[in-house]
Each structure stands twice: as C-alpha cells, then as structure tokens.
Structure 1
C-alpha cells in the first residue's frame, strides 16, 4: 500500500511538472520577453508558441521533466527591465543575464528561486539596493556575480545565509559601509571580489574565518588597520590577494610565507612600514609582487635583503617596490632573479651602488625602472642583451661613463631616459637602430660631440631631450623627418649654424626649446607649426625680423626671443599683445611692440624726406606697373596659344589614356600585369571593392610585391573612380598614404578596355581584418589582436592623412570613403589610407567648401560610415570625412561595426557609446583590448573615455559641430602621451 502511494505521488508530481511547463514557465518567459525593449528582442525571436519551449534560444530544460532549469541570456545585448515573473521559474538552477543592458532594479522575486546555484547579472546598468530576499533565501548559491552595475546601499547581513557560496563579486558598484560579520559563515568561499566600492572602517576580522579563500580582492575601498601577524596561517589557500588603495598600516606579516600557493600579492598605495620579509622567497609560485607607494624600509643597509631571497621565486614576472624608503647597496643578486621577470621597478627609493654588470641575464625584462635613486658607476654593456626591453628609465641618479654602444641592440625600446646623470662621451649612433623609440631623454649630462644623424631616422620619436650637455655642430637638416615629434629640447648646448628649413615639417611640435646655443640667421618658415605652445630661442645669435605669423598661433603660451640680434618692428597683434607670453629683451635693433615690452619707438622720417621718398616710390611704381602689364600680355598670349594646341592634339588622338596618367613616368602594360598576377589567379586575390578587384602581384624586374587594383569597366562609374584616384594621388605624398606607383590604361587580350592602378603592397592587410578577425577566413586571420597602443597609433596615422589632404595639400582633397577596409597596415602596423576612388578635389577650402564633379555622383561612402547629410542630398564636404573618421574611432575602441545587428532605428553606434560614457566605458570597449598589450592593473578607463569622446565629437549630427581632423589628431597624440605616463605608473 505504501509503495502504491509512493508511485502515485511520484506520478502526480511528474504530471504536475509537465502540466506547468506551458502554463507556468512559458508564461513567465513570455513576461520576461515583454519587458525587454522592442528593438532588443531580435535575439528572442524563437520565444513564441510555434516552437517548443525547450528549443527556445537560451533555454534548457530538465531531462526527467520539461521544466526550465537553465536560462542563459549572457551577451544577448538585451535591454529594458528584468520582469518579476522570472521568480516563477522555480526549477531554475542557473540564471545568467550578464553582459546586457538591463536597467531598473533586481526583482525581489528572484529570491523565490530556491534551487538556484548560479546567478550572474554582472555588466548591466542595474541600480537600487541588493534585495534582502536575494541573499536570504538562495541558500544553494555557489556563484553570485553582481559586478559592474550601479547597485548602492549597504551589503545585507543575510549574505551570511549563503553557506554554499564559493565565488562572490561585487566590484564596480556603489555599495558602502562595513562588511557584515556574517561573511565569516561563507566557509566554502574561493573568490571574494569587493573592488571599487565604499566599504569603510577597519579590516573585517570575519574574513579570517574564511580559510578556503583562494581569490581575495579588497582593492580601492576604505579599509584600515593592521594585518594580523598570523594572517598567512588563517588564510593558507589564497592564490590572489589584492589590497591596493586602502589605508592599511603596520608591517607585512612574516606568515605570508605560509601561503604556499600565493601567485599574486598587491598592496600598493597604503601606509605599510617596516621591512619586506625575506620569507617571501619561499613562495615558489609567486608571479606578481607589487608593494608600490608605501613607507617600507629605513633608508639603511639590509633593506634590500628580500631581493636575494626572491631569486628562489622562479615564476616571478613582476617585482615592483617603487616609492618606498628602501636604502642600501643594490645587490648583484638581482641578476639571478627569474629569467621570466618582465618588470623590475625599484625607482624613487634611496638605493645606492652600481647597476650589476650581469644585468643582461634578465633576458625577458620589458621594463627596468631605477630612476630617482643614488646609483653610481657605469651603465654595463650587458644591458644590450635585454632584447625585450621596452621601457628603460635610469634618470636622476649619478651614473657616469659613456652610454654603451650596445644600447642600440634594444630595438623594441619605447622609452629611454638617462636624464640627470653624469654620462660622458658622445651619443652613440647605434641609437638609430631603435626604430620604435618614442621617448629619448639624455639631458642634462656631460655629453659632447654632434647630434647623430641616425637619430633623425627614428620617425616614431615623440619627445627628444638632449638639453644641458656640451653638444656641438648643427641641428641636423633631416630634423623635419621627425613628423611625430611633440617636444624638442636641445637648449644649453654649444650648437651652432642656421636652423634647418625642414624644422617647419615637424607638424606635431608643441614645445621647441633651442635656447643657450650659438644658432644664427633668420628663423626658418615654421608657419605650419600651429600647435606650438612653448618656444624658447633665447640666448642665440639669431637675426632678421620676427615672423608676424607667430601672432596667430592660437596655442602659444610662451615665446622667448630674448638676447638675439633680431631687428625691425615687433608685432602688436594676437599673442604679441601680452608681455606675459612674449619676451624680446636684449635685441637692440627691435622697436615698437606693446608698451610693456619697453622697446624704443620705430624710427619716423621727417616730412620733407617722406615727400621726396614718396615721389621716388611713385615713379618706381609706375615703371614697374608698365613692365608687369607688358609681361602679363605676353603670358596671356603664350597660355592661349598652348591651350589651342593642346585642344587640337586632344581632338586628334584616339588613345583611351586620360591626361592625368602623364604624371606617371612609367606605365605598365596589360601583359606585364597579367604575368605578375599569374593571369589574375584567385590565389593572388586579396580584396574587392565597389569598382574592382585587388590582386597581389610580383614584379620580377624590381624584385618586389605590389598590389594591383583592376577596375571593372562594366561597372557604371568605374572610369570616373579611376580618374578620381589618379587625379587625387598623382602629386601628393604622405607617409601614411598608400603610394600609387603607376597605372595601366590599355586593351586586354580580348580587345576590351582595361584600367588598373598599381600600389605599394601592404603585408598586414586592412584594419578591418584586425578589428573583426572572427569574420575572416583562417588563412587571412591575424595571429593576434591589436593592442590599445597600436590602435592609438593607427588612429593618429589616419588623422594625419586627413589633416594633410584637407589642409596641407597643394589642392585640398576629400576622401569620401574612410572606413577600416580602406586603412591598410604595413610590416610595422603603420597605417596607410587607400582607395581614393570616391575622392573629390576642393575648389576652395573653408568650412563651407564643396567639390567639383570629378568622380561619380550619388551618395558618397559606405553605409554606416557615410555622413547623414549625404543621404538627404547634401554635397560632399570635409565634414563627411570628419564624420567617417569619428565612426572609425568608435569602431576601433568598441570592436563593433556601425552596421552591427545590435543597432537599429535611433539606436546607433554613436548613441550606444554616448550613453555609456564615462561610467561604463569598460563595458562598451572591445574585450580583446584587456587581453592584449595591457599589464595587470593598468588604469585604462580614462584613456578609453577620452578617445571615444574625440570620436563622438567627430561624428556629431550637425556638420558645423564636428571636430576638425587636425584638432582630433592633436587630441589623440595628447591622449597617447597620457597612455604612456599611465602605463609607466601601472608598471610600478
């Protein structure tokens, strides 16, 4: 009888489960769908009555019954609210709504899901308080992730009820107050992540009861107090411990050495004192040790004993104790640290002695930071063995001797700082091998000799400081090749000669300090350097007049021309109206200017002399005018004759080649192109566009590869596109333009018209394939993703091209089709803009200028990148390129195309990014950025926000409100500077 009742109850329960499948779970899920924003419901299209419930996308049902057990909607890009009906899915074991855009609050009804093991609502915009029922009833929860939302209020004490919890993440919310003591009941805990909240008061003693902890993140809160001496014994299973940015004081417990599995220990920016325990050397699994910005050490011998002990940590990759009170001699034992060591940060301490001669043993080292110590002796030649080194900062010590020639082996260097030392001898020419160098600081020192010509070949240089040495000779004529140079500091040397005219080609220049030398002659034409902020040419022998265009440099903050031989009148307009900006004393032949400059008035002639001079001038003017009139008549006659002859010749010829092609001295034949591409083999096809196909071709005569764009002459507008590209590119040159080598205008073997353009070959393909590798075929897919720094560099390259063709070209040009597939990358991932098939030449350059009708008409550009005014009949203008560039920037940082299925109606890439700034910038950024090229703990949110803001300003709806590409370029360069500074700080 009992067995019968048992079977009956089981059957009833099973029937009940089946009966509720449609009636309860289906209704609950449809209610959930109804609360999702209509324009976000695409991913839930399968949620309808025509499809069985258990086949709905993201839904998993149980095997014994058809109740919903798993609801996984992570990354579905859903918006709207979370429906309270979700609490009716009573058989749920897993609920994952992470990486969406859900707003509102977490429904308290979620607390009804008593079977739940896994709850993840991270990466949304949920607000309000954490429901008490959520933490009070879900006693089977193993993982709870509420990270990266806008949750606020205090953490409920009911958290202690979740006794099965292993992983808890609350980071990046606005939760505040003390951690409840009940947290001690979470004795299964593996991960506790409380980053970037506002927990206050002392260190929560209850945490010491959680002996199972493996990952403990308490960073950037308001915790205080001392760490217990038995810390390591109470938490023996820790693997990652991050306590950065709090108010901890006292000493580092020696028992930390008991945590045998500890891999990462970070407690930067606190108030710790005492010594660094040598026992840390027992942590054989230690990979990351950062004790930056505390008060560790006592300026004395013995402070660095821990370094010898750490040689036992063979897995160590990051060791940074920057900004403490460590003293004593730098031990030779640092050369025995792990060969896996990437970062060694000892700067801003009181360390004496010399750099060990075997420093080259640390073959994996990428960052060496020893500045602001008391180091002496020589810089060992073995430093040239550190072939992976990117940042080397030895500034503000007393290192002497010559700069070793072997330093030229460090071809991956980004930064080399030797400033404020006692280096002697000459600057090694081998530095020219460091082609990636961006920061080179070698002053003040005791260097002599000339500035090596080889340094002018380092086109990546942003900052060059050679000031306060004894350098002689002249400023190299090739200085203009440093197109990216922002700061040039060579003051207080013994340099002489005239300033080279190429100085005016350094268009990125903001600071120019040449004071205290022996330069002579006139200031060269630097009118193109409109971004100059600080200029000091004082204490030289410069002469001539002061260029009037300096008055119009809007960014100028300081101009010192004192103690030279300038003559003539001083301008009184623009920047010359302020004596706080301009200094000109010590030029005895200057006159005029504003009263505050205290110069003599400019000489005025007597009336009789003026009368005689005026009569003479009138006679000269009349004579010159007659002569010029006669010459003009001759010129007009000659031009007219040439025009008629040219017109006659054009009428007589039947050649299909446009006159534009005459600009190319060597044109290729159809046969040559046919052979170079193996008969236009599909194996050599590397891309296709609106008007043709691009092939890779090998020119045996030149022994090099080129790219050949073959126009589809059957396509309407192809001939106009061909003409537009030839006309645009025939005379312009820029390092970030794909070079048009020549063209072919011929007949193919079947007698058909044939047109092709031949370019330099770009081995790294297009930016498009790097931003969206998952869309590429395996053979074309890059082996890695772009780092954030590489994205900055590419964006600056593209902005430089647009600035050039808009402003600095002989005839300004609008590209009209800026997009990732038209940005090509060479071996060094330097960007080159291509495809000028839609370009138009400007008749007149101003903010309202339009274009002639050289190329085809219609909407110009690619959907998603084309400016909105083009779609309603607006004429192409430079504003269109500004808009396209803005979209390009947003895509480069977010990783999303403007045509992504996520967007529709009024919800665009622009509005998606704008709504996330600044609080949720990390949510919209391309996730691959965080896994490639950034070191642990690097604060990138600020840099990402600034870049996205530039993009948003460029693609404003109104053309008049858009940021000019020249200004965008300057801002991007400035952001890149911040990036470098932040990266160096992060490495500490």
Structure 2
C-alpha cells in the first residue's frame, strides 16, 4: 500500500510544469493588458503582438535567466506613451525594475504595484499622473529607488511609506503634495537621498530626519515649512547637499554649523526668515561649491574666514549684512584667488564703504557679479573689463560716482548691465556698442550727460533700454528707433533730449512700454507710432509736441496707459481713443485741445483715470463711466464745459428751444440787433472819414493803459517789432492765460532800447481778459521790493483784428526759480546753493506777508509756485503773476467772476490748497499751503507732481515722514556736496531742516493748522540770521 507522503510528493512534482506555464502566460497576458490601456503614437510597442510569441524579446521587457519566461524588468522611458497604467501591472510578481518615466501617462499610480514585493526600482517620473501616492507602496519591502517626481500628485505622503525599510532614494519633487513630512520617514535608516522639492507641503521639519546617518542629499526647498532647522542636521557628516531654501524657516544657524560637514558641497538656506550672524565655522566646509544664504535676515559683518572658501557660487543678497571700511571687505579679497568663482551676489544689504579695486581681479570665470542696492561709494574699477566671462553685472542703487570706464566695453558676453540710481557722470562710453549680446541696459537716475551714442544701435538683441533721468542732450539717434528687438521697454524720460519723433519710431513693433516724457521734443506725433501694436504704456508728457493727437493711436489695442499731458497739442480729442477697449488711464492735461469731450470715452468700462484739465474744451461733460467718479476725473481749467455730475459744480448746459420757439426768439433778437449793427456801421464810417483813426492795411494805436506817466504810450506794433513778431526764439515762459516774451523796447525818446518782459494774454483762452484786468488792478495797488514791477500795458487790437492785451515788466535775466530747480535740456545751469535758496524763501515769505497783512486791501495771490518766482540779476526774488489773485474786502466780480464751476478752483495742480478743490473759500491759508509746497520743492528737488507721489504719498507726507531724523535722506543731495568739514555740513543740514519744518507747517491739510505767512517769514528770517551767522563765522 502506497503511503500518503509519497502521494503528496508525486502530486507536487507533476504540478510544477503546469504552474510554471501558468506564470509565464500570466506575465504575457499582463503585458498585453497593460498595452491595451495605452496610446502609442510612435509605435514603440509595435513588437508587442501575438505573432511574436516570445514576449521576453518585446521592447523594454527583460526576463529572468534563473526563471525563464518571468519578467523581471519593464523599462520604457521616453517612448511617447500615453493613456493610463493598467492595474494588471501588479500581476508581474517577479518584477524588480519598473521604469515608465518621461511619458504622457495620466490617471493614478496603480495601487496593485504594492503587490510587487520583489520590486527594487520604481520610476514613473515626468509624466502627468494625478491622485494620491498609494499607501500600498509601503509593502514593497525590497524597494530601493522610488521616483514619482514631476507629476501632478496630490494629497499627503502616506505614513506607510516608512515601512519600505530598504529605501535609499526617494524623489517626490515637482508635485502638488500637501501636509507635513511623516515622522515614519525617519525609519528609512538606509536613505541616501530625500527630495520633496517644489510641493505645497508645510509644518515643521521632523528632527527624526537628522538621525539618518547615511543621508547625503536632502532637498525640501520651495515648500511652506516653518519652525527652526533641527541643529543635528549640521552633524550629519555624510551630507553633501543640504537644501532647505524657499520656505518659512526661522531661527539662526548654529555657530559650529560647519565643523562637522567635511564633504558638504552645497548649502541652500536662501529665501527664508533666518536671522543672526553668518557663522565663521562654515569656513571649515572646505569642499563647499554653493553657499546660498540670500534673502533672509542675516546681519553683521561677513566673516573674513568665508573668504578662505573657494566656491562656485556665493549668494548673500537680500540680508542686512554690513561693511563700512576696507577691513570689513576683507572676505572678498581672498576671492581674487578663487579660480572657479562664477557668481557673487551681495545685493540689497547695508554694505557701505569704497568699492575695492581688486573686484576687477576676480576670476575670469565669473559670470554674475551683483552688489546692487547697497551704500557702496567710490568708482567702478577701470579694470572691470578683465572679467571677460561676465554675463550679469549689477551695481545699481549705490553711491558710485565718476565716469563709466571705457574698458567695460570689453565685456562682450554681457547680457544684463544694471548701473541705475547712482551718481555716475560723464558720457555713455562709446564702447557700449560692443555689447552685441546685451538684453537689458539700465543707466537711469544718474548724472550722465552728452548725447546718446549711435552705436547703441548695434545692440540687436536688446529687449530693455532705460536711460531715463540723466542729463542727456541732443537728438535721439535714429538707430534707437530701429531696435526691433525691444520688447519690454524703452525709457528716455527726464532728460534734455530735443528734436522730433521720426516716422520710423513705428519700427518698435514689439515694445510694451515707451516713455520719452519730460524732454524737449517738438513737432508732431508720427502716424507710424500706431504700428507699435504691442504698446501697453505710452508716455510723452512734458515735451513741446504740437499738432493734433493722431486718430491712428486708436489702433493701439493693447494700450493701458496714455499720457500726452503738458505739451502743445491742439484740435479735438480724437473719438478714436474710445476704441482702445483696455485703456485704463488717459492724461491729456495742459494742452491746447478744443472742442467737446467725445461721449465714447464714457463708454470705456476699463477707463479708471482721466485728466483733461487746462485745455480749451467746451460743451457738455458726459456722466457715464469715469465721468461719474469725481476722485478719478479732472476737468479743471476748461472755461466752456458745462453739465456733468453735480459734484463738478459746472454750470448747466444751454438747452435749445423747439423749432417754433427758436424762430420766434430769433425774430425778437435779430430785428433790434440788426438795427443796432446798421447804426454802428454808419457811425464807424463817419469816424473813419473824419477822424482818420484807422488806415486800411495799417494798424494804429486804438487804446492803451499806462501805469507810470514817465513812460510813453506803447502800441501793438511796437510790441510786435520789439519781439520780432512774437518769435518763438523770444518766448521765455507760458501759462494758462498767456505767454511771456523777451523784447527790446524804447521806453523814452532819449533812451536806448531796454530789454523788457512782455506778457501777452491769450485771447483764445476764456477768462484771459478778466485775468488781464485783475493783474492790472493788483499791480496798481501794491508796492514792495519783492513784488514784480510793472512798466506799462497795452490794450489794443492785433493785425488780425483780435483783442490784444499785454503787460510790460522789467526783464529779469535769471528767469524763474522753476528753471533753476528743474532745468531744461539746453539749460545746463548750476544748482542753486542752500544759501541762495534760503534767501529766496525769505524774500518770497516777506512778499506774501506784505500782501496778506500790509496791503490795502489785502491780496491773496492764489497761484504761488516756483514758476511765479522771478529772479533778478542779483538773485533777488520777485513774486509775479497776479492774474487770478483775489482782493479781500473788495469785490473782484468785474475782473474775475466765480461762476461756481471748476474754474473757481484757483491755482495749479500740486500747489493748490486741498480745500479749493472742495469748493472752499479763497483765504490767506491757501497761499500758505502753496508756499509750503514750494518751500519743500526747493530743498528736496522734487516737484509735487513727481511720478513718485502716487497712492496717497504726497510731497508734504514725504517730508513729514522724514522729519527730523531722516531729512538728509530726502533733500537734494547737491545741497550738501560743497562742504569740506563735518561742522559746516551739520550747520547746513540744521538750516535746511529748519526750512523744511516751516514747509511742513505751512502745507498741512487743515487750513486752521497751517502756519501763517507772517510767522513763516519770522521763522525763516530767524533761520537765516542765526544759522547762517554761525555758518559764516567758521
């Protein structure tokens, strides 16, 4: 009888071939099912078919030698495969390696992969997988490499992953994972590399990870981790890369951080909230190649020991690191011996002192050198051209002086050059034409002069060019406008450039921002400018451009901001501007525009800011869109406007009567008017025959007004010839109501011609006649050493039969204060000293005090500003322009009626008292405000309309925030440059501080809180007499 064990053994032997056959067919079936779920546009799996029975020869499939027919590896990286990964992949139970990386898979990671207990490598990176990481992966107890990087995985890292005890490499970078790092990861004692880079994880970094003694690379940057860095991480002697950058980590680096990191190559702690000192012990990590501590709150000096390292990259920017003298810069000296240095970033710290010349001796391998945003002085080293590999050079936002060295042009690989916001002077080097690789060139806010080199046209790759706010003169070279590579911006604003915009300005088809404001450009805007179809920001304000605004600007569909204010444009506002559907801000103020406001502008839903003030517009103001928001709309200085929202306080518009009523009204009016006109014609004919006052073809004097009998009468013809026909070459100033010309006029029969200033009132400007009469009335009644003296006047008819009004003054050779504070391109005048400015301030205060308190009747000037302060040959200041003044206590209705519209707001934007804009009464406090703003402008060098004063910041607030401890940071730097010792400097600063205090007190928002002009004059006299006496005694 056969025993039971024998039977069982025989059954097992007979079954073995059958089981092996089943496993082989199972692997083949699993592969075919895997293929069914895929798309294969490249035919990578063309060999996977029934005609090829040996699936071990299929592409990407590797079978076991020990167990033939069993799949041990499936490797299909970068095959262009798409679709989802079939769960049947979990049936390949002998699989040791699965690499499906760099394909186009979607869907989730199959949970069935957790059945692959023999799996050692799982790589499904750089696909588009989503969903969560299966916790079943923790069952893969032999797994050594797990990479699911660069997908769209979500959720938390499963705790179960800590059960994959043999895991050495864990890559989960570039996903959307959330939550914290599971403490169970600390169980992976064999872990060599751990990377959660670029996810949305948060929480603290578990201290248990610092016990992973085999760890060589940890990278958890670009997440939201907070708390402190566990100190024991700096004791992992096997570490080569420590990457905790771009999180929210706080605390400090341990003082001995570098003592136990002998093979550390990269330390990434940048862009956190770390503080304290940079440890000198980091110098012990002698193999370090990348030291990144940028954008934290580290402070103090950079340890000199750091200079003993020789890294490729040193990133210390965006901290509060300091240096004051040569000794503090010592850490950099050693870098001159570091031949592999490629990047040095020290930008945005508190580093001061003189820039060492040995910077030019750095490695010729250095590509990026940045020291921007510090307090570094001195000059750019002449040998900077030795750094031949430089790609990025940043010295912006310092106190560097002197010229830009010519040899900088040797840096022919340079792509980014940032030198803006320094005190660099001289010309733009001719050698800049060698920068053929340049992408961004920024030289703004310096003191560069001369013309723009034509050779900048060689920079054919340039995307951004910023030369704004320098002292550049001459014509803009045509070559600049042919730089079709410009895509970001071209900014030439705030210079003294002249000439016209050429037609080929339209070649800048790709530029997004074009800013040539605040120059001396003339002529028309070329129609071709509308070819710049990508323009988002176009600013040409503050020039002398003329003609009409081109209708073709309406074709600039991408335009968001258009500023053409402060020019001499005429004609109508083109309704085509209403076609720019994305237009947000439109500024057309201070031009000679006429006609009505296009209704279509009110339909622009995007338009949030509109300034059309001080033109000659008339008709009804729309009420829709931006016209319904008083805080975003300015229509001041347009006599003919009516209607609009009630808050504008404009007169109602005339409503035309119906036809029948109109015919009756015309009959009633025209009959008597016709009789009167006929009678006047007959009377004038008789006068012509018998009196001979008017000769055809030749204009004689029709009337005049003479202020002083010792001067003869003056006619229109005499003034015409005195100014060479009111030639533009003799124009020395212009305002709302008229222009001022320089002329040569004989004031008596026995005297030679004298140079005079002739103010000619603009008959086109409504209200100019009233302004003429108001100014005459004031000047007749005042007499003060600091008020402009009138010689005579003329009220006549010009050669075209139009009304002509003019006032003749003594000519002042130093023109207005405004020209000295903000000189134009062709006026290279020196800066006024603080002593001269203080004297001017005292004299103007005296004049206003006289007008307010000693004149009968009292007079409110209403338009105090630098352009209305005239300077004599001995620098005596004279207050001028009384065209909108108000005599207090005496009706001025016959000269300047206030109809209640926007013209009732007297003054100039930036200088006018706030209460005037709210309909408040004219008062002496309004003059105090304007004087205070003028005083602040004199000593800071900044006009109240400066571009920096936006979003609630004003010149008054700018000064008030700095007073008194930070006054030196806001005043015009040129005021303190001449002083050769600290005592004189301190005295000058005290004097300026005192003057600014008066300016702040005068320009307070509430009228009752402002200092009166009497007290302001007393304070300024006291400042000048006491402080300057002390100054000159030294």
Instruction: Tell me how far apart the structure 1 counterparts of residues 580 and 483 of structure 2 sit (CA, whole Å).
Output: 32
Deviation track 1:625-670 (CA, whole Å, cap 9, x = no partner) reads xxxxxxxxxxxxxxxxxxxxxxxxxxxxxxxxxxxxxxxxxxxxxx
The match for 2:476 is: 475
2:148 corresponds to which of 146, 151, 167: 146
Would the alpha carbon gap of residues 75 and 14 (structure 1) be closer, same or farther in structure 2, given more than 3 Å must change? farther
Instruction: Measure how far apart 1:176 and its partner are.
Output: 2.9
**Helix, strand or coil at the partner of 1:256:** coil
1:586 aligns with 2:598: no
Deviation track 1:698-721 (CA, whole Å, cap 9, x = no partner) reads xxxxxxxxxxxxxxxxxxxxxxxx
For the 8 Å contact 2:551–2:577, the answer to whether it is kept is: no
Instruction: Tell me how far apart the structure 2 counterparts of residues 346 and 480 of structure 1 sit (CA, whole Å).
Output: 35
Q: How does 1:734-883 map to 2 (within 5 A)?
A: none
For the 8 Å contact 1:17–1:65, the answer to whether it is kept is: no
Q: How does 1:518-529 map to 2 (within 5 A)?
A: 518-525=520-527, 526-529=529-532
Would the alpha carbon gap of residues 29 and 594 (structure 1) be closer, same or farther in structure 2, given more than 3 Å must change? closer
1:271 aligns with 2:266: no
Instruction: Measure how far apart 1:281 and its partner are.
Output: 1.8
1:323 aligns with 2:325: no
The match for 1:208 is: 210
Deviation track 1:862-907 (CA, whole Å, cap 9, x = no partner) reads xxxxxxxxxxxxxxxxxxxxxxxxxxxxxxxxxxxxxxxxxxxxxx
For the 8 Å contact 1:567–1:591, the answer to whether it is kept is: no
1:556 corresponds to which of 555, 559, 569: 559
**Helix, strand or coil at the partner of 1:554:** coil
Deviation track 1:14-33 (CA, whole Å, cap 9, x = no partner) reads 85775345333223322322
Would the alpha carbon gap of residues 86 and 344 (structure 1) be closer, same or farther in structure 2, given more than 3 Å must change? same
Instruction: Measure how far apart 1:220 and its partner are.
Output: 2.5
Would the alpha carbon gap of residues 367 and 8 (structure 1) be closer, same or farther in structure 2, given more than 3 Å must change? farther
Instruction: Tell me how far apart the structure 1 counterparts of residues 84 and 339 of structure 2 sit (CA, whole Å).
Output: 52
Instruction: Measure how far apart 1:47 and its partner are.
Output: 4.0
Instruction: Tell me how far apart the structure 2 counterparts of residues 569 and 154 of structure 1 sit (CA, whole Å).
Output: 64
Instruction: Tell me how far apart the structure 2 counterparts of residues 378 and 445 of structure 1 sit (CA, whole Å).
Output: 13
Deviation track 1:17-62 (CA, whole Å, cap 9, x = no partner) reads 7534533322332232233347687525334353313212211122
2:164 corresponds to which of 147, 162, 165: 162
Would the alpha carbon gap of residues 145 and 585 (structure 1) be closer, same or farther in structure 2, given more than 3 Å must change? closer
Instruction: Measure how far apart 1:422 and its partner are.
Output: 0.3
TM-score computed with the length of structure 2 as normaliser: 0.54
**Helix, strand or coil at the partner of 1:122:** coil
1:304 aligns with 2:302: yes
1:599 aligns with 2:602: no
The match for 2:72 is: 69
Deviation track 1:242-274 (CA, whole Å, cap 9, x = no partner) reads 112222111112343121111111122221111
1:282 aligns with 2:279: no
**Helix, strand or coil at the partner of 2:449:** strand
The match for 2:535 is: 532
Instruction: Tell me how far apart the structure 2 counterparts of residues 131 and 153 of structure 1 sit (CA, whole Å).
Output: 10
The match for 2:938 is: none
Q: How does 1:338-737 map to 2 (within 5 A)?
A: 338-362=338-362, 363-486=364-487, 487-525=489-527, 526-575=529-578, 581-588=585-592, 593-594=597-598, 597=613, 599-600=615-616
The match for 1:102 is: 105
The match for 1:812 is: none
1:122 aligns with 2:125: yes
Instruction: Tell me how far apart the structure 2 counterparts of residues 366 and 53 of structure 1 sit (CA, whole Å).
Output: 53
Instruction: Measure how far apart 1:417 and its partner are.
Output: 1.4
For the 8 Å contact 2:553–2:576, the answer to whether it is kept is: no
Instruction: Measure how far apart 1:581 and its partner are.
Output: 4.0
How many residue pairs match? The answer is 593
1:28 corresponds to which of 27, 30, 48: 30
Deviation track 1:127-149 (CA, whole Å, cap 9, x = no partner) reads 333333321x2211111112233
For the 8 Å contact 2:389–2:413, the answer to whether it is kept is: yes
The match for 1:189 is: 191
Would the alpha carbon gap of residues 390 and 17 (structure 1) be closer, same or farther in structure 2, given more than 3 Å must change? farther
Would the alpha carbon gap of residues 151 and 544 (structure 1) be closer, same or farther in structure 2, given more than 3 Å must change? closer
Instruction: Tell me how far apart the structure 2 counterparts of residues 148 and 92 of structure 1 sit (CA, whole Å).
Output: 23
Would the alpha carbon gap of residues 585 and 106 (structure 1) be closer, same or farther in structure 2, given more than 3 Å must change? closer
**Helix, strand or coil at the partner of 2:177:** strand
Q: How does 1:889-900 map to 2 (within 5 A)?
A: none
Instruction: Measure how far apart 1:591 and its partner are.
Output: 5.4
Structure 2 gaps of 5+ residues are 1-5, 600-611, 620-639, 641-669, 671-1034
Instruction: Tell me how far apart the structure 2 counterparts of residues 360 and 327 of structure 1 sit (CA, whole Å).
Output: 21
Instruction: Measure how far apart 1:399 and its partner are.
Output: 0.6
For the 8 Å contact 2:234–2:257, the answer to whether it is kept is: yes
Instruction: Measure how far apart 1:400 and its partner are.
Output: 0.5
For the 8 Å contact 1:62–1:69, the answer to whether it is kept is: yes
Would the alpha carbon gap of residues 32 and 458 (structure 1) be closer, same or farther in structure 2, given more than 3 Å must change? closer
Would the alpha carbon gap of residues 276 and 566 (structure 1) be closer, same or farther in structure 2, given more than 3 Å must change? same
Would the alpha carbon gap of residues 455 and 13 (structure 1) be closer, same or farther in structure 2, given more than 3 Å must change? farther
Instruction: Tell me how far apart the structure 2 counterparts of residues 491 and 428 of structure 1 sit (CA, whole Å).
Output: 20
Would the alpha carbon gap of residues 475 and 115 (structure 1) be closer, same or farther in structure 2, given more than 3 Å must change? same
**Helix, strand or coil at the partner of 1:327:** strand
Structure 1 gaps of 5+ residues are 608-988
RMSD: 3.2
Instruction: Measure how far apart 1:421 and its partner are.
Output: 0.5
Would the alpha carbon gap of residues 428 and 246 (structure 1) be closer, same or farther in structure 2, given more than 3 Å must change? same
**Helix, strand or coil at the partner of 2:490:** strand
**Helix, strand or coil at the partner of 1:559:** strand
Instruction: Tell me how far apart the structure 1 counterparts of residues 341 and 539 of structure 2 sit (CA, whole Å).
Output: 42
For the 8 Å contact 1:393–1:416, the answer to whether it is kept is: yes
